[in-house]
Every structure is written in structure tokens, then in C-alpha cells.
Amino acid sequence: MNDSTYDGNRNSHWNLDAVIQQLRVSREATHNIRHQGKIRELPSRAMLASIVEGLQAALFPTHYGRPNLTDESIDYFVGDTLNMALNRLSEQVRRGLLFSAEVDLKQTCNASEEAALSCKAQEITRDFAASLPEIRGLLVSDVQAALAGDPAATSVAEIMLCYPGTLAILYYRLAHSLHRLGARFIARLISDIAHSLTGIDIHPAAQIGGSFFIDHGTGVVVGETAILGQRVRLYQHVTLGAKRFPADEKGVLIKGVPRHPIVEDDVVIYAGATVLGRITIGAGSTIGGNVWLTQSVPPGSNVAQAQMRND
């Protein structure tokens, strides 16, 4: 062996100076996508994940909290866990607001821009905290819908710990509350964390009633302007999406237009169905697996795929 040839990593070189110089040019000139003006600190995905875990534990301390919680200790646990989560959330909301054009800070807080931002973030966080008991009620209805709707489910504990749908709905309900209060960037990040954990992608702006159940769930997509009633049940790979995206005269997409389905109460949509556009699925309907649906159907409909073909 020729020692001067072989030196492991010890003498390796990567032409660092040249690569770094080219990356700088790419960043600052040829492919600059940095947000303009003042540097804005981005929200932290890892911190948000830990915040949501804290909220989960505060909402359901027996299932998601610490073992050995007793009657004398449980409120201390809930209080401390919640306080820590809210403190952290407030900071993330603040960062997220820097990316929202719509928030009119001046209205709510009479102060300088930076102070107003913190003040607004705290106001949102306080209102969010106040919404938690109601969210807990909705989540309990969701869990009970799962227990009633899946013959394989054996206990509340199994639904709390082993159903990705439970997790996805929990994250959605928290994100939706934040979205409604104006913390939209944060809400989106939370929904994407849930997506990564469960394969279920629910936009935080969607509106979903109680007793919601998603079984298996991988690949479910619920779009931004979708509206779901009470007791809706979805299976894996169901898409509630948009059919086309209206653009303005310059070809720029118009944002926020209602373009996703309305699903009324007591609808069941089986695996792989794709429902697109601002159509309405009437109450009590059943949409079969793999169906492609782009027109409204009346209440009580039963839609199935065309026949298969045997070769």
C-alpha cells in the first residue's frame, strides 16, 4: 500500500472555498428566495412538535401524560404542562405572525411593531387556551365514533394509542383553532407534522364537525375550504380536493376561493375515493371505494365504481 495515496478522511478535501462561493452566489443572486427586508426568525418544527405533545398530555393526562398521576397530583401536572406548552406556543405564534400579511397588529395592541407582535401572539395564545376544554369535548366525540364504527376496535385505550386517525384529528382540531385565531403559519406546520406522522393531510382551515372518524387513514387529503358535517367517516386514500384552480387575468391563482367539497352529516366515504370540486355530498350518502366524483349527489346516495372487467 502506498501510504501517501491512502489517508482515510484525514487529508480529504472538498474544494470547500469554491463550493461555498458558488452557493453564496446562488443564495444572493441567481436563486435568491430569501424573504425580503428584515430577517425573520422561522418557527421551529421540532419545538411545535413538543408543544403539541404537551397539549395532548394536558388534554388527556391519563392516556398521553405521565404514568402514576394521582388525584392529588393530576392538576399540578396539567397546569405545569399546559403553562410550559403555552409559553412556548406564544413564541412560535409570534414568529409565525411575521409571515402573515393579514394580521393588523395596530388594531389590537397600542404599541410599537415589535411589542404589538408579542402582544398579539399572547392574545391568540390566551384565546387558544380558552378553547381547549371545548376541543377536548369534540375529541371525545371523535374517539367514541371510532369505538362505535370499527369492529376491530376493542377499547378506548386502543383508539387513543393505536389509531393514526385519532392523532390526525387531534392535531387538526388544535391547528384549526389556531388558524381561526389568526396563527395560520403555525397551524399549517402542525398539520404537516400530523401528515408526516400519520399520512393524513387535513388543511387546518377545513371545517369538520364532531364524531369524525378516519380509519387506517394513509393518504387521506382534506382540502383548505372543505366543510364536513357531524359523524363523517373516511377511509384511507380518500381525497376531498379541488378540481380546478381559478386564476386571474394574469394567470395568477386566486387564493381562498371555495373549491373543495361540502360533506354533509353521516356520510361514509370508502377507500380510495376521490371527491373533487365545490360539490355537495348529501347527508347519509355512501361513496364507494376508488370512486371519482366531481358532481353533487343528493342525500342518501349510494355511489359505486363502474364494473370491473375480467380478461
Residues 165-224 that bind a copy of itself (CB under 8 A): 184-185, 188-189, 191-192, 195-199, 201, 203, 216, 218-219, 221, 223-224
C-alpha count within 13 angstroms, C-beta hemisphere, residue 149: 23
End-to-end Cα distance, the chain: 64
Compute the distance between CA of residue 282 and CA of residue 261 in angstroms, rounded to an integer.
Answer: 11
For residue 281, the minimal CB distance to a copy of itself (Å) is 12
Beta carbons of 293 and 277 less than 8 angstroms apart: no
Map the footprint of a copy of itself across residues 39-68, applying CB under 8 A.
39, 41-43, 45, 58-59, 61-63, 66-68
In the range 78-137, which residues lie near a copy of itself by CB under 8 A?
Answer: 78-84, 86-87, 90-91, 99-100, 109-115, 118-119, 122, 125-126, 129-130, 132-133, 136-137
Closer Cβ to a copy of itself, 262 or 291, answer by number: 291
Rule CB under 8 A: choose which of 31, 53, 104, 106 binds a copy of itself: 31
Site for a copy of itself in 278-297 (CB under 8 A): 288-293, 297
- Smallest distance, a copy of itself to C-beta of residue 127, A: 10
Q: Which helix (H) or strand (E) holds 262?
A: strand 262-263
Over the window 133 to 152, marking each residue x when it contacts a copy of itself by CB under 8 A and - when it does not, the resulting string is x--xx--x--xx---xxxxx
Report d(CA 204, CA 134) in Å as an integer. 17
In contact, 200 and 165? CB cutoff 8 Å = yes
Residue 241 contacts residue 223 (beta carbons within 8 Å) = yes
